[in-house]
Homo-oligomer: A and B are copies of this chain.
Amino acid sequence: VAAAAAAQGRRTVLFPLRGFADPAQYGSVDTFWLALGQLGRFVRVARQEGCRDVVLIGTVTRPRWSQLRLDFLALRMLPRVIRAFRGGDDHLLGNVAAIGAELGFNVVGAQEIAPEILMPEGSLGSFAPSARDRSDIDRALALLDALSPFDVGQAAVMADAYPIAVEAAEGTDLLLARVADLRQSGRVKVPTGVGVLVKAPKRGQDPRLDLPTIGVSTVEGVAKAGLAGIAVVARQTLVAEPQEVAAAANARGIFVTGIAPRVS
């Protein structure tokens, strides 16, 4: 996303979160590390650097209170921060966006800066879902829809109409590792090549925040789990490095498909 912004002639300033972002992925130029809770520092530096648009990328797992470094501005926002801690991710992120807007920043989605990372409709790569896969995809989407009011369940694995795994706090990588384990231990006996990983945004989710994301590691996890492929909602899913994803999918014989969003 930063590269896409740079290609558009925008200057980019990075604010990785200590304890959540991987230091190996950041240089020192235009990079200001924040502890979670340093809202005042963020506002001061971002204004100083001339930032107007703010893109939030990635997931913050719910922190312990002891991890927070609340500065003065964050303390002033504390009643709202406490409310943000009630309920699931949606509330937390929704509050972050509202606070950003109040402080004079324009919170935009990564896909507005880098539309090329949005999943298109149809397949990336050469493989496409079979009729059984499509039926598994429909059933998994219905399951994820049923879970949506609980701020959970952006991913599920459905194999021949049988739900093998439902994602909650563990994240998609651990979900896929579990499916691989369940197959290896014989607890799940669906043949290799049957089953689909389906990811969908939560209903009512703010598209500027926390869209489902897939990448090469997702393709590799799906291959290890012995599944047929990956289905996501087109235009509502971020694909990190789409060409690499297509190449990995082709090499593994896996489909990666974007389903048209349902109008509701």
Chain A residues close to B by CB (< 8 Å): 61-64, 67, 86-88, 139, 142-143, 146-147, 149-153, 156-157, 160-171, 174, 178, 182, 186-191
Contact = CB atoms under 8 A, between A and B. Distances in A.
Nearest to A89: B162
Contact of A190 (B62, B139, B167): B62
A149 B50 CA distance: 52
Contacts of A189: 61-64, 67
Nearest to A162: B88
Interface of A is mostly: loop
Nearest to A91: B161
Nearest to A169: B164
A39 B189 CA distance: 21
Contacts of A188: 61-62, 169
B163 A88 contact: yes
A146 B150 contact: yes
Given A139-B150, A146-B150, A189-B67, A169 B165 contact: yes
A147 B152 contact: no
Contacts of A157: 168
Contacts of A156: 168
A167 to B, nearest CB: 8
B169 A168 contact: no
Nearest to A148: B146
Given A88-B162, A165-B170, A168-B163, A187 B61 contact: yes
List 4 tightest A-B contacts by C-beta distance, closest first.
A152-B163, A166-B166, A146-B146, A164-B169
Contact of A147 (B147, B161, B171, B174): B147
A171 B164 CA distance: 10
Given A88-B162, A88-B163, A139-B150, 19 more contacts: A61-B188, A61-B189, A62-B162, A62-B188, A64-B189, A86-B161, A142-B150, A143-B147, A146-B147, A146-B149, A147-B166, A153-B166, A162-B169, A163-B169, A166-B166, A166-B168, A169-B182, A170-B187, A171-B187
B161 A87 contact: yes
